[in-house]
Chains A and B, each alone.
Chain A
Amino acid sequence: MIQVNNLTFSYSKKPFIEGLSFEVKAGEIFGFLGPSGAGKSTVQKILLGMLPNYEGSAVVGSVECKKHGSNFYQNIGVDFEYSTMYEKLSARENLEFFSSLYRLRHRSIDELLMAVGLENDADKRVADFSKGMKSRLNFIKALVHDPKLLFLDEPTSGLDPTNSRLMKDMILEEKRRGKTILLTTHNMQDATELCDRVAFIVGGKLFALDSPHNLIMSKGAAKVTYTWIENGEQSASCDLTEMAGDKKLRNLIAENRLQSIHSSEPTLNDIFMEITGKTLV
């Protein structure tokens, strides 16, 4: 669906995105993970043909992005990181207008509004929407023409847990319907849960690319952390596979002095730090 080869781009004279190569397969959810300013949105904009001054190649569908024709956007749905709605118009007026621009396939606006729980706010001005409501509205706007490829820029940011759950379920539902989805996020949980594969990017460069599961398994082993009382609470940890060799732990078990004990797999966040040396956010 998307092939990027040796992509190089910068807004200024200073190099920014350099030699980026990756491929997104049809039907998968591909995630861009990286701290703020990493270039996640920039790569999306390049793939959308909005920044034609790049070098290397970026092919979406079978079209080189900087040479796209007027049909290019028929099968692309975009949810930018900011709201892109007429603030003075109602939610319904907005969706109807954007939907009417497309010639092919239109999804029911009422059903979409219902799906994100906005059916009772459809006739309210967008200016009077809360941040989370705007995010949900922006998301369904990307779906009105039932595109094959979705670009979602931080779709879950600014949502409460309930709506974040709802949004993630909708994204997975779109995947089931056969869409290819490219999303950016700095939320590791979301990435782990949604993405078939993730790309770590920092400072415009790609650091790793694999499924969240493989990334977690390939690096860092599961750890056991335990606590006990000895001049206040103490804690220590060891690798799950080396538990038997941990003398302190064995003593504590023998003396029944353990306060707590739990094992934890490394999260994608730990892996990200290990690979890139940077934290997210």
Chain B
Amino acid sequence: MSAAQTGTLHIPKVRKKDMRAIQISFLHMLKFMKKDMMLLAAGLSPLLMGAAIRLGIPAIDKALRSFTGLSQILGPYYSLFDIFYSAITPSMFCFVAAMVMLEERDDHIDRYLFVTDLGKRGYYISRIVIPALVAFVISAVLLPIFRLAVSSFAMILFLSFSGTLQGIIIALLVVNISSNKLEGMALTKCASLMMLGAMGPYFIERPSSHILFFMPSYWTGLVITEGRAIYVLPTVLVSVIWIVILSCGKFRRYT
């Protein structure tokens, strides 16, 4: 897709046998991650966060209800927690990948890998596509364990998918805009605000909430609150537009 966008840029196709180098490159990233406490912690955080939500939120809700005597406090927002959780898990994985990519850029390793058997396309596949696939699977496994409200299989798949797209967008934003790891960490916090779009449908009246149309998570929120499958379309569309724009920027940069 980026080749068409930039016109002259040629990125070779990946053949089956090239998967070998991609696989090695991906495994190398995992090894690299194990050596870095911060990245390891980020990789494990979805488990802790999931447990905290699953056990903490209903307990807090119960305490608040008995304290105030109200019948509903957090209950209506349980699905919002599910949306957040489904985005946090992939975002953490994509964040780890983004950090590794920034470190590789600092050490000039990315451009070296471009001129090995791995190649440019192979590099991005091993650092973005495969981590995203793994994140999707892990999200789809963890969400049923730690969910508060959503129950249908289709919903869980959808949330994992839209969360994964969100994770890719955050990773691309971070890799594109920041020039080193430190900036990357600061930027991840800002980029993560994109997840807050999901709050729109819960707290803002329609149609003024549509002002958040550019955030994919806003549409994810609508899918859940309105219960209408049609909103899956804009969720995917807005995400893909983000991803395409961010990918072109990156591929066009001289190395």
Select A101's contact among B25, B108, B111, beta carbons within 8 Å.
Answer: B25
Tell me, rounded to whole Å, the shortest Cβ–Cβ distance linking A170 to chain B.
20
Interface residues of B in 16-41 (CB under 8 A from A): 17-18, 20-21, 24-25, 28, 32, 35-36
Select B109's contact among A50, A51, A67, A84, beta carbons within 8 Å.
Answer: A84
Total A-B contacts with CB atoms under 8 angstroms apart:
82
Interface residues of B in 94-150 (CB under 8 A from A): 104, 107-109, 111-119, 121-122
Contact A87 B117 (CB under 8 A): no
- Please give the number of chain A residues whose Cβ is less than 8 angstroms from any Cβ of chain B in the complex: 34
Stretch at the interface among B6-14, B185-193, B235-243: B6-14
Contact B122 A97 (CB under 8 A): no
Given A66-B8, A86-B32, answer yes or no on A74-B107 (Cβ-Cβ < 8 Å).
no
Stretch at the interface among A75-83, A219-227, A252-260: A75-83
Select A50's contact among B8, B15, B17, B255, beta carbons within 8 Å.
Answer: B255
Tell me, rounded to whole Å, the shortest Cβ–Cβ distance linking B225 to chain A.
46
B interface, size bucket: 20 to 34
Select A70's contact among B12, B112, B113, beta carbons within 8 Å.
Answer: B12
Q: Which of B9, B24, B32, B116 has the most CB of A within 10 A?
A: B116
Contact B111 A102 (CB under 8 A): no
Contacts of B67 in A (CB 8 A): none
Contacts of B21 in A (CB 8 A): 101-103
A interface, over-half SS: loop
Given A101-B21, A101-B118, answer yes or no on A70-B13 (Cβ-Cβ < 8 Å).
yes
Given A84-B107, A100-B24, answer yes or no on A66-B117 (Cβ-Cβ < 8 Å).
no
B interface residue numbers (CB < 8 A to A)? 8-10, 12-15, 17-18, 20-21, 24-25, 28, 32, 35-36, 104, 107-109, 111-119, 121-122, 254-255
A interface residue numbers (CB < 8 A to B)? 11, 45, 48-53, 66-70, 72-74, 76, 78, 80, 82-89, 97-98, 100-103, 145
Instruction: Give me 9 other A-B pairs in contact (C-beta within 8 A), A68-B12, A80-B111 excluded.
Output: A45-B255, A50-B111, A50-B114, A70-B119, A70-B121, A83-B107, A86-B104, A86-B107, A87-B107
